[in-house]
Structure 1
Amino acid sequence: MSAFEVLCGTAHPELGEAVARELGRAPLGRSIERTPDGELLVRVDESVRGRAIAVVQPTHAPVGDHLIELLLIGDACVRAGARTVVAVVPYLGYGRQDRRAAPGDALGARVFGAALGAVRFGRVLVVDPHDPGVEAGFSCPVDSLSAMTTLTEALEPIDHEKSVVVAPDLGAAKLAERVAHRLRLPFAIVHKRRMSPVEARAGRIVGEVRGLRPILVDDIISTAGTIASAIERLLDEGAAEPITVVATHGLFADPAAARLAALPIARVITTDTVPRPAQPSFVHASVSIAPLLAEAILRLGAGGALEV
């Protein structure tokens, strides 16, 4: 049994409960209410004095609410005498704001990290952050886990003679290359030109895709603009249908569903770092990262190294 107790926020209680089950525990009780003027009231309903606590709370939309709730839960645990408090943030909101595109831009990722450190979280666990270097902006240690092994297992069986793993942009190259190596498949990259924060266009392709069925690998599907543009470019270059899309975080912000439904995609596979869409208009499968998170928490409790 784990040395850590689990507390779930309201962002994704199903995942928190699944992690607790993997650890052989029930989540600790907590009360989270909203006042008439919009403030959150957070209370830990059980004694945490001298105990190690893992707070499971992804920070997807509404990002601000989920972040504030995470901070308040952490503060409640620290003030109640918890021995150590770990923030388990499977999806890291503001993770893409890790560098300034213009002189007046804020660094949201650095602000996020400073806030977690100010609450005295002892450690932060994240899964496939958009930029692994984001941890440099945190004032507490950060462990980055990867869901790629879990996702790769969900891809089997595969026609190895007719498939190619594709990174839809350069930022996804390391993740896609890891999947290609594990599956023993060829690897290609679509170079992307970002026109604005919400628009990207695919450019040249490095690697052979003609006659092959692409398996696109990325960390995040938000509006699916990058994925859609890459698929259109791949088809122009003679890639074969159907196409598979794999990503760790399925945010599916508007108009992602319409874009994905309009393309020759056989299936979209994501993890449950955030809640899955209720009734997607495209073929969607979700695999759980609860075992991955539970194993990491177990290793932390035992003082062991984490496998990323």
Structure 2
Amino acid sequence: MDGRLLIFSGSANPELAKEIATCLRMSVGRALVGQFKNGETRIKIHDNVRGCDVFVIQPTCNPVDHHLMELLLMIDALRRASANRVTAVIPYYGYAKQEKKTAGREPISAKLVANLIRTAGADRVLTMDLHTPAIEGFFDIPVDHLQAGPLLADYIHSMNLSNPVVVSPDAGGVGRANRFRERMGANLAIIAKQRPEPDTSEVLEMVGEVEGKTAIIIDDMISTGGTLVEAAEALIERGANKVYACATHGIFSADALSIIGRSDLIETLITNTIPQSSEASSARVRTISVAPLFAEAIMRIHKDLSLSALFS
């Protein structure tokens, strides 16, 4: 049993965990993940994990604090049950937007969450498309950072869109958009914006030619949908024929799906790092699976093989 690979899942995205396990030709480990009557999180691992290489799959999506606590308690339970190694698989890393202080007397929440995961007993972290790559440096344990860009780019490329142009919705995402553009062989456009307050944005200017082209907006996450819709409107005003959108994480907080459903977007492509409601399809949101990529990464980590080939 020494070094046996086991996978466990919290309640955040059990469907993704099952799909990853299926790709690995195994089943998800047995565990009780629930709540006591007083509202406290209850965790009990039913399988023997002594000496095993354990992966806990739990995106810290909404409700973020609850799913984070589940993850921490599962790691602690596995560590106390003598697991040989515990890897926290966090497809979507909550609090990632709070990676720096923007004003006085604010926390750096992303750093605190990293400290909590390490303190709980995680030996390493496997995640995807952090909002800021610098978050990797918040951890004092190894971090494997997967990228969904190649999957999304290959899917868009297979659609054979006419005269495509890849659009970064802000200056911070230019690197991501440029890698996407190179994989597709398309041109690049950049939208400059400002944020007068959290979760709101204003389009200021655009660099690049979009007239008569099919625009593809690429971002790491979609939260309120405001940035996406404003970018789509600006592209249509500049003469774009059609507008698509791609993002790794579909957060869709508040009435984001309604906003996107009423927008000029032809289709919004996301991954299944976060589970989606039935309303997503009516908002023309399409989901592709990252389970095979995570399964391959988990197997490579288990066998102590390089993950570099997955980043190309």
**Counterpart in 1 of 2:113?**
112
**Counterpart in 1 of 2:246?**
246
- Residues 61-87 of structure 1: per-residue CA shift (max 9 Å, x gap): 000000000000000000000000000
- Residues 106-134 of structure 1: per-residue CA shift (max 9 Å, x gap): 11100100000101201001100100111
**Counterpart in 1 of 2:134?**
133
1:160: how far off?
5.7
Matched residues in 2 for 1:86 and 1:98: separation?
Answer: 22
1:41: how far off?
1.2
**Counterpart in 2 of 1:66?**
67
Task: Name the SS of the counterpart of 1:156 in structure 2.
Answer: helix
Structure 1 segments of 4 or more deviating over 2 A?
Answer: 156-161
1:283: how far off?
0.9
Does the 8 Å contact 1:3/1:298 carry over to 2? no
Alignment of 1:193-232 (within 5 A): 193-232=194-233
Matched residues in 2 for 1:13 and 1:136: separation?
Answer: 28
Matched residues in 2 for 1:204 and 1:158: separation?
Answer: 29
**Counterpart in 2 of 1:7?**
8
Does the 8 Å contact 2:229/2:264 carry over to 1? no
Task: Name the SS of the counterpart of 1:66 in structure 2.
Answer: helix
Aligned residue type for 1:289: V
Does the 8 Å contact 2:4/2:51 carry over to 1? no
TM-score by length of 1: 0.96
CA RMSD after TM alignment: 1.4
Does the 8 Å contact 2:154/2:184 carry over to 1? no
TM-score by length of 2: 0.95
Give the count of matched residue pairs.
Answer: 306
1:274: how far off?
0.5
- Residues 89-122 of structure 1: per-residue CA shift (max 9 Å, x gap): 0000001110111011111100100000101201
Does the 8 Å contact 1:7/1:56 carry over to 2? yes
1:161: how far off?
4.8
| Structure 1 segments unaligned to the other structure (5+ residues) | none
Report which stretch shifted further, 206-215 or 87-96.
Answer: 206-215
1:236: how far off?
2.1
Alignment of 1:1-308 (within 5 A): 4-159=5-160, 161-241=162-242, 243-280=243-280, 281-306=282-307, 307-308=310-311
Does the 8 Å contact 2:162/2:214 carry over to 1? no
1:173: how far off?
1.6
